[in-house]
Structure 1
Amino acid sequence: MAIDRFEALRVFCRIVEMGSFSRTARLLDMSNSSVTNHLTNLEEHLGVRLLNRTTRKLSLTDEGRACYDRARDLLDGLGELEEGLRGAKAVPQGVLRVDVPTAIGRMYIAPALPRFAELYPEVTVRMTLGDQVLAPEETGVDVSIRIGDLKESSRVAKTIHRARYVCCASPDFLARHGTPAAPQDLARYPQIGFLQPTSRHPVPWYFSKGDVAFEQMPDARIWINHAESLIDAAISGGGVVQLFSLSLQRYFAKGVLVPILADWSAPGPPISILYPPSRHQPAKISAFVRFVSELFDDQLE
């Protein structure tokens, strides 16, 4: 039986990267049976089993691993050739899939997307927001933004910002309670704590000054797992909060929150943009990486 080998290899690679027939079908806009048939036909054509399938998981055979590595190189090379011949390297075009943390997406990326669309009218952006940390390979996205230290990945990771941990409160709150001079003074102030969005675990506060660095759990009666809601509570005068600087900067600019204990501000996690490695990066990806890097340079100096 004659098969479209390139299409079969493309589907096979997506199955490996997504870890699921159904997720691959959704990503490629195919039926589940079509995805299965592509794999079955490829295995029959090659005369080897590429994937071990159980009801719970998929795993590569030794032959499957070798096939995936060679197929990925082949498909990447083919994509680069096509883009070069079509001029796509010079003109950003096509669908760009982006995945970003909720706070960064809402505060920085989403407001800037109309400008990106104006600059690159032939690119369609499909952006998803969420705080569940998944490998980009699992989500099928072209570009992702991540907060914190990164797990080992096949993606290129470019640091676009380094956050800091900043304590703050509303002007009215500080007028009523006074301004703390040291972290130890915070025990006398109402505090609002942050719960890690996915684990719901309380997040400690971090402080650093010179050679002294420590963390302490806030003595809070209110805990919230959503950064913007935590900020709303602080703006209303509910107490002292600590968050990443990138979540707070616009509120400092508006004057609705005031940074405190600035000389005790501790270094926070890196903010990174991840994208596939390629000697000839598709123009849509290069354009977006450059756009976001400049966006953070402009807004978070």
Structure 2
Amino acid sequence: MDTLRGIESFIRSVEEGSIAAAARRLGITPAAASQNIARLERDLGTRLLQRTTRKLGMTESGRVYFDRVRHIVHDLELAATAISSLQDTPRGPLKIAASVAFGRHVVAPLVPAFAARYPEVDIELVITDRVTDHIAEGIDVSVRFADQLEPSLVARKLATVPMMICASPDYIARKGRPARPEDLIHHDCLIYRFAAHGRLFRWTFLRDGLLFEPEVHARIVSNDIDTLTEMTMAGAGIARLGAFIVEPLLKRGLLVPLFGPSSGADTAITGHAPFDFYACYLDRHAQTPKIRAFIDHMVQNLKGRWSGA
């Protein structure tokens, strides 16, 4: 049992970046966590952590040991939740990760109703565009688009979100409206750069069933969708944004669609490659009542939300 306590304190210290933070997560004192690690190091006959006043790092032995034992705490948690899953009531901590734009605009607004329905579930929502590690970061469920899916995760589809090309009325008044996608080369385009791999978001279209990608003028590039949206509304140029961002702005007259049935342009031209979003979790044994309840909540609230989905 002392060894397990030491392993748990060691793993959480590495994950949290400090022994004090690990102690808070484990619900023990920093002194107790430090003692647990010291006993583990004594039993192993090697130092696992390098401790300074400002930084906590692993020794070479620590890195090897961490890679070997990092799954142990997670497996113990799964064993405990497997027993509690015999009960039907969702309860306990639920850590959710979601990409920044979809997390802010879609996931976060749905969390309060879920929390109200399940008062015994304590929720942590992590908003980030990097790909999260379910085991190392203690993530119960992550909301990802198709490019972020991993074969080690079980994925359930939540929604298909159409992409829309749009600009502000001010920009159109100053620069004119492109009649066809090929005209985008003569316009100021605001392009999203994926944070995970650094590639630019491609603008592809369908015309009469044929896929094509016109050349565009990347006037402004950003790795944050909300930043691009703000600049688009300010008249900086044309952007390709998800319907979950654009639709409320269209209703308020802040943005105007440039292609597609509602744009007044050639209806044979439509945006292509909508984003599919998925709820992901580690394995079927990890689908505890709280995870299942959250995913069901998302599916129920997103069903049929986008007409182009």
C-alpha distance 35-184 of structure 1, shift in aligned 2 (>3 A):
same
Indicate which of 285, 288, 296 corresponds to 2:294.
Answer: 288
What residue ranges of structure 1 are gaps of 5+ in the alignment?
A: none
Q: CA deviation at 1:52?
A: 7.0
Q: CA deviation at 1:265?
A: 0.8
Amino acid paired to 1:77: A
Q: CA deviation at 1:168?
A: 0.9
Amino acid paired to 1:291: H
Q: Percent identity?
A: 25
- SS of equivalent to 1:139: coil
Q: Is 1:192 aligned to 2:190, yes or no?
A: yes
C-alpha distance 13-233 of structure 1, shift in aligned 2 (>3 A):
closer
- SS of equivalent to 1:137: coil
C-alpha distance 5-137 of structure 1, shift in aligned 2 (>3 A):
same
Question: CA contact under 8 A between 2:167 and 2:257: conserved in structure 1?
Answer: yes
Per-residue CA distance 1:31-75 (angstroms, 9 max, x = gap)? 66644654565687xx8789977855644469x84x776775555
Indicate which of 265, 271, 282 corresponds to 1:276.
Answer: 282
Q: CA deviation at 1:287?
A: 1.2
Question: CA contact under 8 A between 2:163 and 2:272: conserved in structure 1?
Answer: yes
TM-score by length of 1: 0.75
Indicate the residue corresponding to 1:250 in structure 2.
248
Amino acid paired to 1:207: F
Indicate the residue corresponding to 2:81 in structure 1.
79
Indicate which of 96, 103, 112 corresponds to 1:114.
Answer: 112
**Take 1:79 and 1:42, find their aligned partners in 2: how far apart are those partners?**
26
Per-residue CA distance 1:129-172 (angstroms, 9 max, x = gap)? 22233322232222222234236464322222234442111244
Question: CA contact under 8 A between 2:91 and 2:120: conserved in structure 1?
Answer: yes
Aligned length: 289
- SS of equivalent to 1:144: strand
Question: CA contact under 8 A between 2:203 and 2:240: conserved in structure 1?
Answer: yes
Query: What are the residue-to-residue correspondences of 1:1-301 with 2, within 5 Å?
Result: 3=1, 7=5, 18=15, 22=19, 24-25=22-23, 27-30=25-28, 34-35=32-33, 37-38=35-36, 41=39, 55-56=57-58, 58-60=62-64, 65=68, 73=75, 75-84=77-86, 87=87, 90-150=88-148, 152=150, 154-175=152-173, 177-197=175-195, 202-209=200-207, 210-214=209-213, 216-220=215-219, 222-262=220-260, 263-279=269-285, 281-300=287-306, 301=309
Per-residue CA distance 1:197-237 (angstroms, 9 max, x = gap)? 567765443334423332644341x3443322321222233
C-alpha distance 169-91 of structure 1, shift in aligned 2 (>3 A):
same
